[in-house]
Structure 1
Amino acid sequence: MDSDMSMHASYAFKHTCWGILLLFLAGGVADCSVVVTVSGPHVAKVGSNVTLNVFITGATRPTIVWAMGDIPVVTWTLGSSSPPDILDPGGVLSIERDGSLSFHNVLLNYSATYTIRVVELGVGSNTSTFTLRVFERPSGDPMCSVTGVNGNQDLQYRCQWAGGTPEAQLSFPVLNATSSGSGDFNLTRKPSQDLNGKEVTCVASHPFLQRNCSVTARGPADFQPLVSSMVDADKKLVITIACASTSLPVATVTWSKGNQILTSGGRYQISSNTTLLFILDFHLNSTELGTYTCNAVNILGNQTNDVSVLGPTVSDLGLFPNQEGTMVTLTWETPRTSVITGFEVQMMGPSLLPSPGGRQRRKRATNEFGTIQEKPSSARSTNISGLDPKATYRFRVIPTAGATRGQPSKELRAGPGGGLSGPAIAGIAAGIPCGILLILIIIALIILCVVWRRKRRQTRYPVSRAVEKVVATQPNLNTPHTLLTGGLKTSAGPPDYSVHLASERSSTLPSVVSPPPVRMATTV
């Protein structure tokens, strides 16, 4: 190890001496006939490959010396079969056949001004310089945030983009077009409704790239509280009420139940950011169930929400059978604020068919529900297979909170037939009398309408006043006739018809006065 270090030191010393000697011999002896130019990128990214290209005219086999600052790093005679002398512990530098200097996986510490001196004895020499800067991009992407400062009286916008050489330049043009900073930049503003809900963008600039990030300050908006439950190691019920809004800066939440302000301690525990309330050893009674209130406040406003904590409840149940009738999928829903730690899926009917290859005998149908599955509180669906397509099954779900069961969900039937459920039968029984009464009312209305229409259709003819008068003065045929005023003659014998005939013939007939003509009107 020591011998390797001494050999390297000796090599470096020898290389440096030769470079200095060549520079000394050619110093001040510049020949216009030897021309040297260097071209290449002035900025390089860490880990990239870079070449400083050299163009030499006026010399055929010159000696080339590359120096990094004042220290020679590469010496070589152009076209020589001998390897170049390179002083580069990092192994980054190499020289090309035309004298160009190459960098492989360049590092940050290779940022410098490089000088090339071309010397050819008997011809002359010349030099050229070139500055290379090696940059490293910042890590990740810029991050924006906004917080309350100065006793929660001001808004502080912050933009960070760590690392990088050089550091990125950061600014918030929408807030201040002239102020900027490097790496970590803060800008403080008074709160106002103009800033509430306004997106503010940080512009982060680096020589290699430009990135942006944005942040929006807003007051607490309407949010949906959430209740979750668990059973601790002591098998006691623990519930968590979350009132986390999307406000920025993050709102401070205060908790209460009725007129009681809840603070962290004992059975009540509040998270460090105040958005979570933990209630230990929770009991499902009227004292602990009920309404809890969370009030979220930040520099831009406040929002109050009431959380009605409910016992274990299933609000809806759905059943979806497959086409073969051998499997059903149950889905259910629960209120967001219901205290639930699990579910019991129950079935009534024949036992499920054994899996293929199983020897379990099938049991008869039962008239009671039995638990066939137990699901965690996060479950909202389950599949039940092994059903007999010809049998009828009933399903329901019971929510649980610890050892306490809630009310069963509604019952759903699967399978052919099976009759009607009790509620369906009751509904039909109540609907039949109402239906009969409705039919009778309709029939009566129809009859009334028919009679009324017939009466309206009967034809009425007008009668003349003269006809009415004749009809009114017509004699009564039941009374004796008044034309024979003389009376009847009585005799012992039969009446003498001849006398009567003669007298009737000799007497004049009474004249008949015809009534005046009457016009009759007929309505068609």
Structure 2
Amino acid sequence: MKQLEEFTSLCRKTLVTVLFLSTFQGANCELLVSPLGPTIVSTLAGSNVTLAVSVNGASDPAITWFRDIIPVVTWTINSNSPPDIPQSSKDVLHLEKDGSLTFIQVPLSYSSHYTVEMTKSGLGKASLQFTLQVFEIIQDVTLSTPSGLAVEGTDRFILQYSMLQGVIEQQTWFFKSTEIKNSSHYLVQQTSLVILRPNRNDTGLYSLQLTNPFSSVKVYRNLTVFYGPDEPILKATPEKIFYVVGDSVSLLCQSDGNPQPTVEWVFNGQKLSGALNRVLDLTNLQTSQGGVYTCSLLNQMTNEKREKNVTLDVYERPPGSPVCSVLSVNNDSLLYECDWMGGTPQATLSFPALNNASRGEGHFRLILPASTNLNGKTVSCQADHPVQQNTCNITACNPKTFLPEIRATVDLDSKMVVSVLCVTEASPQAVVSWSNDSGAIANGTTYQISSDTSELKIRDNNISNLILQIFTCTCSNPLGSQARSIQLQEPSISDSSLFLNQDGTIITLTWDVPPTSVVTGFDIQMKGSNLINKNGNTSQTKSTSDGYSTIQQKPGSARSTDVFTLDPKQIYRFRIVPKARLFDGKPSVVHRIGPPDGLSGPAIAGIAAGIPCSILALLMVGGLIFLIIYLKRTKRHQTKYPVPRTAEKTITPAKTIQHKATPHKPLAGGLKFFPDSNRIHKSLSDRSVALPAFVPPPPHVRVATTV
């Protein structure tokens, strides 16, 4: 315990001694750093330069050199250890024994602020700042214009310098030997001169002087500020309000610009070829030369363009004739219009019979309340022009009687659409309103009214719904109205015809439908032999229960069709079936073509084949008759006894064979008729052999018989 107290006492004595010695030394010493030359040092790149310092008031202080705020050298003077220098700077930086900093072949990049800081324990810290400026000789300075051409009125124009090498300490710009200062028109920047909103007065010689402690260079540049063309002046000589046919006039166009602008003349929007001078001479004016003449000026350097127009009025009659019309206003007033546009000057228009005080030029409108005295009244528009006066007439009238038109189609959704069109003669054009049994019709899914209200489209696939309704269209204008009610009919044919070509191979069917019939298409049906198509094959069609086949289908707008490849030797029957989508209407009358009705083809063929057989049978019968007659004549030469007259009279009349003499042509072979002189006197025994019965030949066959 005693030893611990002795050690503590010794430490206190030692600390008091150190503090005393330190206080004594600080009171008598001060650490000072002084420059041994200028603190702002200028040098050429590649040379050696030293930032020299001297240290007083302490020995062997710690020294640190800073580049801006970054330490680059650290060392304690007279230390055996080398200075601490970054590896990247060891070839350039060298610390002298007295603490001065030397730059070996200093590069441009080492221009900066350098600060030396020395410290000594117990003496505080001392510092000193240097500025090192490394320069190069200024070489190959050029002036350029990165902003392109200098054009008057642009936002800014830049003159910029560049050089091969050199560090600039001072730059001075001159315009026509006068130094340029920063102002509202000029702005001097680090490597350029900015001309704000250049104008034509900025054209001239510009120069730039660049200096540093080791060199000075001055360069020049001529600058041209392009401008124009200015607002052109266009004048006509002689100057008149208007010109007449045969006059002459010269147009002069003037404008300033740099370079001088080129001139081009345009007439009514079309370039005049060859007109490139400032003066355009027009001689022997015609009405076609009246219009707008434009002097177009172009600056080829800036592409700036200016134009100036002058209008030459040449008296010209308006083309055509005045046009009159009358329109409806709110369906209670009439708007009379008269137009006669064109010409110079425009014609003055009026309707004297309606209002003698109102007039217009080129286009005139007059609104009057509709009244009965205007219905059918013809009024004239009086058109007055210095060259000619003219008139046109217009008559307002109420709607006339009309007949609705019915059309039916099938839309893309396979729905039937029936269009009812109501158009009437009226002036102004009539507005159409629609109604049915349920009242007024408005646009919707089932009913659609066209924008001009003249057409009503009905979408309904049920034909029964359509033909049960009565539709009414009412056409009206301010002078009156006309209404027409219609009831749609089932699809039907009102009339049809058939025309056959000369060869009998082509027919043309035509037909008509009633005005109110709903028809979306037609089936052309045929009964007879199948048609032959282009490939030589017979067409396959589906037959109806009554034997007709549909060979064509036509749209509802069709009113005729042609049928080809018919056989003139065959019988055909044709008819037209009207359709309303899937509903079939009553067919038209049947049209027949072909040979007349009679024996069929097989019967005629059988008769033709039986004629030779009939002739052969007749020949055999004739031969048999001839043999019988011959035998009888032979028997007649034998001895006979006379027959009493009384016996002859007993022969029954019914058994008496009577032959009516009928002339016949002899058969081929020379067969003749032999007279029978004993026929009347024959007895019953002579007629024991009965004559063959005569069989009449078939119709239309001539035969020869022997009685």
Structure 1: gaps of 5 or more residues: 21-36, 45-49, 53-65, 74-85, 112-130, 420-524
3-state SS of the aligned residue for 1:245? Answer: coil
Query: Does structure 2 conserve the Cα–Cα contact (< 8 Å) formed by 1:229 and 1:239?
Result: yes
AA in 1 matched with 2:590: E
CA contact (8 A) 1:173 1:201 kept: yes
From 108, 114, 125, the equivalent of 2:291 is: 108
Alpha-carbon deviation of 1:8? 11
Task: Name the structure 2 match of 1:359.
Answer: 536
1:404-459 deviation per Cα after TM superposition (whole angstroms, max 9, x unaligned)? 2212111111122137xxxxxxxxxxxxxxxxxxxxxxxxxxxxxxxxxxxxxxxx
- Corresponding residue to 1:370 among 539, 542, 549: 549
1:318/1:331 contact within 8 Å kept? yes
176-185 vs 408-417, which moves further? 176-185
Measured in 2, the distance between the counterparts of 1:101 and 1:266 equals 69
Match status 1:147 vs 2:327: yes
The alignment status of 1:43 with 2:244, answered yes or no, reads yes
1:33-72 equivalence runs, <5 A: 42-44=243-245, 52=248
Q: Choose the corresponding residue for 2:427, options 235, 241, 248.
A: 248
* Amino acid corresponding to residue 169 of structure 1 in structure 2: T
| Counterpart position of 2:403 | 224
Distance, in Å, in 1 between the alignment partners of 2:283 and 2:478 is 60
Equivalent position SS for 1:285: helix
| Equivalent position of 2:578 in the other structure | 399
Q: Is the 8 A contact 1:220 1:246 kept in 2?
A: yes
Q: What amino acid is the match of 2:368? A: R
Structure 2 residue 313 is the aligned partner of structure 1 residue 133: yes
Amino acid at match of 1:387: L
AA aligned to 1:399 is P
> Residue type of the partner of 2:291?
L
- Give distance in 2, aligned partners of 1:279 and 1:72: 68
Gaps of 5+ in 2: 1-148, 152-225, 255-261, 267-271, 295-310, 599-707
Change (3 A) 1:137 1:396: same
CA separation of 1:323 and 1:156: change in aligned 2, threshold 3 A? same
Whole-angstrom distance in 2 between the partners of 1:362 and 1:274? 47
Q: Secondary structure at the match of 1:347?
A: strand
- 133-142 or 259-268, which moves further after superposition? 133-142
Looking at structure 1, the residues matched to 335 and 488 of structure 2 have their Cα atoms a distance apart, in angstroms, of 37
Structure 1: distance between partners of 2:333 and 2:318: 30
8 Å contact 1:94–1:102 — kept in the other structure?
Answer: no
Partner Cα separation in structure 1 for residue 381 and residue 282 of structure 2? 42
Matched, 1:386 2:565: yes
**Is the counterpart of residue 307 in structure 1 residue 307 in structure 2?**
no
Q: Taking structure 1 as reference, are residues 211 and 94 closer, same or farther at Cα in structure 2, changes over 3 Å only?
A: farther
Q: CA deviation at 1:221?
A: 1.1
Residues 380, 142 of structure 1: CA spacing in aligned structure 2 closer, same or farther, 3 A cutoff?
Answer: same
- Work out the CA distance in 1 between the residues paired with 2:385 and 2:525: 64
- How far has the Cα of 1:214 moved from its partner? 3.9
| Partner AA of 1:317 in structure 2 | S
Of structures 1 and 2, the one scoring higher in RCO (CA 8 A, sep 6+) is 1
Give the 5 Å matches for 1:238-387.
238-258=417-437, 260-285=439-464, 288-355=467-534, 358-360=535-537, 368-387=547-566
Q: How does 1:80-229 map to 2 (within 5 A)?
A: 89-90=265-266, 101=283, 106-109=289-292, 133-135=313-315, 142-149=322-329, 151-162=330-341, 164-176=343-355, 179-206=358-385, 213-229=392-408
Three-state SS of the structure 2 residue aligned to 1:323 is coil
CA RMSD of aligned residues (A): 4.6
Maintained 8 Å contact 2:460/2:466:
no
SS at match of 2:313: strand
Matched residues in 2 for 1:299 and 1:379: separation?
Answer: 38
Instruction: For residue 289 of structure 2, give the secondary structure of its aligned residue in structure 1.
Output: coil
CA–CA distance in structure 2, aligned partners of residues 264 and 363 of structure 1: 45
SS of match in other structure, 1:43: coil
Q: 1:346, 1:373 within 8 Å by CA — same for their partners in 2?
A: yes
CA deviations on 1:442-485 (whole Å, 9 max, x unpaired) are xxxxxxxxxxxxxxxxxxxxxxxxxxxxxxxxxxxxxxxxxxxx
Q: Please give the alpha-carbon distance, in whole angstroms, between the structure 2 residues aligned to 1:7 and 1:360.
A: 87
CA deviations on 1:170-203 (whole Å, 9 max, x unpaired) are 2234434554211221123343334323333434
**Cα deviation code 1:394-413 (max 9, x no counterpart):** 00001111222212111111
Please identify the structure whose Cα radius of gyration is greater.
2
Partner residue, 2:596: 417
SS at structure 1 position matched to 2:374: coil
The percent identity for this pair of structures is 39
- Count residues in correspondence: 342
Aligned partners of 1:196, 1:390: CA distance in 2, in Å?
Answer: 66
Q: Distance in 2 between matches of 1:334 and 1:301?
A: 32
Query: 2: CA distance between counterparts of 1:342 and 1:155?
Result: 44
Superposed displacement of residue 263, structure 1 = 2.7
Instruction: Measure, in 2, the Cα distance between the counterparts of 1:268 and 1:217.
Output: 32
1:295 to partner: Cα distance: 2.2
Asked if the contact 2:398/2:427 (under 8 Å) is kept, the reply is yes
Amino acid at match of 1:108: G
